[in-house]
Structure 1
Amino acid sequence: MAAPYSPTVRRRRLSAELRRLRAECKMTLLEAAKKAGMGKSNLSKIEQAESKTVPAATLDKLLDLYEVDDPETRSAMHELSKLAGQKGWWSQYKDLLPQILADFEAEACALRTYEAQVLPGLLQTPEYADAIFRANRVRDDDEIAQRVAARVTRQGILKRANPPTYQAIIDEATLRRIVGSPEIMGAQLQHLARMAARPNVDIYVLPFSAGAHPATEGSFVIMDFPDRRDSSIAYLENPVTSMYLEEDHQIRMFNDMFGGAQGCSMTPAQSLTFIEGILKTTEE
């Protein structure tokens, strides 16, 4: 029977991690359940976030089975399980569990984002992303290459069959800031125009002329999910941590911010014309 309550961020995260670990070990649900000494239905409920908690002993069996030996990662998984019933999570584990945002993006049926400083990650070209990472003082070329590859992989959700709807409000300053070089920025604007032509993507340019607007406090992403029992998630990020919010009053606040900023923005058609106009200036 389906869970009569919405899985929290922590519980969904724990379930996704356990599914991923089992898949990496190339085990079926039945094989993993047998080896862990538990019923297939019980493991299925854990992996589908239908169990409110996962007993510590059960989690240890699964982590042992999946050969998770790193103490910090195991500790993070136990923290997820222990606090699974609580909402509103300051994630301290984004380096240990880096797939958090990508997994939620992949599950979402709709994404709405406001970006004030750089273009949204799902709309960046590899060269633009490379320049952003270097500006953020990532110096190791291999690490930069890995980050760029991960970002490009995330972008696949917008081109898959039955993609999520994607609405992006982009501040005019973001479009006018030359990132990398004029050539890189020109290619980025061309890519942005191509993405804006996709039926599931709407881009709204928030012009300087809008003045003060409801989203002046910073960038954010709102993710909605196809199962109405799953609460929407608002995502914010800074250099040291990530924040996932899902309380009703928090989501209402971000919905209001997005709607207010959208009302101050150009329409998608006007925005595309505006982007093409900036592109012409970069080519002159």
Structure 2
Amino acid sequence: MSAPYSPSIRRRRLSAELRKLRSQSELTLQEASKQAGIGKSNLSKIEQAESKTVPTKTLDMLLDTYKVTDTQTRAALHQLAKDAKVRGWWAQYKDLMPEMLADFEVEACAFRTFQAQVVPGLLQTPDYAGAIFRANKVREDSEIERRIDARLKRQDVLNQVHPPTYEAVIEEGALRRVVGSAAIMHEQLLHLDHMAVRHNVDLYVLPFNAGAHPATEGSFVLLDFPDPRDSTIAYFETPVSSLYLEEDEQIRRCNTMFGSTQACSLNPVQSLALIRHICSELEE
């Protein structure tokens, strides 16, 4: 069975390759579009990965314009275009979750996340996730069950044979806030205990006494990818929208924010001890 892949990553990679080929051909966007016989705005959208598909005919016209004659190179770019059209499992939940996040997660080789209010989604138990979703009183039970199902499917990324590394900085308040019930929270903390001993998972608890820290403006996730052609993505979620950042300066600032917040946190051994202490308090 082939490993899942991200159509969005394939689309971004194809766009980057086409931009590089145009640059190597020393053609401006206008010159390339004119020679290839496609609109300048269409080519711009293709190069910015704003077009969901690149038709075979259009791709061939661009490769001809850039004088790409190597059959293997052409075949590889056509495969990228083909892969970019495929819909992942997450498409069936697009009305309930940030579709592009799951899309990017399947190919990430490293996750770095800061969570202030709740346990990170990829580390949540079904009952904990359900309690989070039920906090929104307007949701029907059927919708909540679909949301839980989608969250559990997303967590499969950490259960691969060669899983990505996962570093999570979690506010102490997220661990002490009793979500659902004491029993649900106790189970959630036990699950964090089990996840923390995995070789690819490192948990850092940001204690109350750390005071103000660099990430006080909110939670976020950084995703790194194994192919150097795929730049790091920073993901921020708000109640009404999702924001993805990938410009070099934006990523540099996010990397600094995560690293500085991580430095304010307890180390993994200390963090696990605190998680177990909070868990024991719930038992009492």
TM-score after normalising by structure 2: 0.71
- Give the corresponding residue for 2:185: 185
Within the candidate set 81, 106, 117, 1:46 is matched to: 81
Counting aligned pairs with the same residue, the percent is 56
Counterpart for residue 136 of structure 1: 136
* Cα RMSD after superposing both structures: 3.1
Q: How many pairs does the alignment contain?
A: 222
Q: Deviations over 1:236-284 (max 9, x none)?
A: 1111111111000110111011000000000001100010000000000
CA contact (8 A) 1:9 1:244 kept: no
- The corresponding residue for 1:112 is 112
Q: Which runs of 5+ in 2 are unaligned?
A: 1-12, 21-44, 56-73
Q: Deviations over 1:188-240 (max 9, x none)?
A: 00001000011000000000010000111100000001111111000011111
Shift in alpha-carbon separation, 1:41–1:274, aligned structure 2, 3 A: closer
Q: Deviations over 1:56-76 (max 9, x none)?
A: xxxxxx89xx9xxxxxx9xxx
In structure 1, the partner of 2:281 is: 281
Residue of structure 1 equivalent to 2:255: 255
Larger CA Rg, structure 1 vs 2: 2
| Equivalence for 2:39 | none
Contact 2:98 2:242 (8 Å CA) reproduced: no
Please state how far the C-alpha of 1:142 moved relative to its aligned partner: 0.7
Does the residue aligned with 2:49 lie in a helix, a strand or coil? helix
Which residue is equivalent to 1:172? 172
Contact 2:210 2:265 in 1 (8 A): yes
2:241 corresponds to? 241
CA contact (8 A) 1:158 1:164 kept: yes
Greater RCO, CA 8 A, separation 6+: 1
Partner in structure 1 of residue 49 of structure 2 = 11
Q: Deviations over 1:74-118 (max 9, x none)?
A: xxxxxxxxxxxxxxxxxxxx6398531112011100000000000
TM-score for both structures, normalised by structure 1: 0.71
Distance 1:97 1:148 in 2: 11
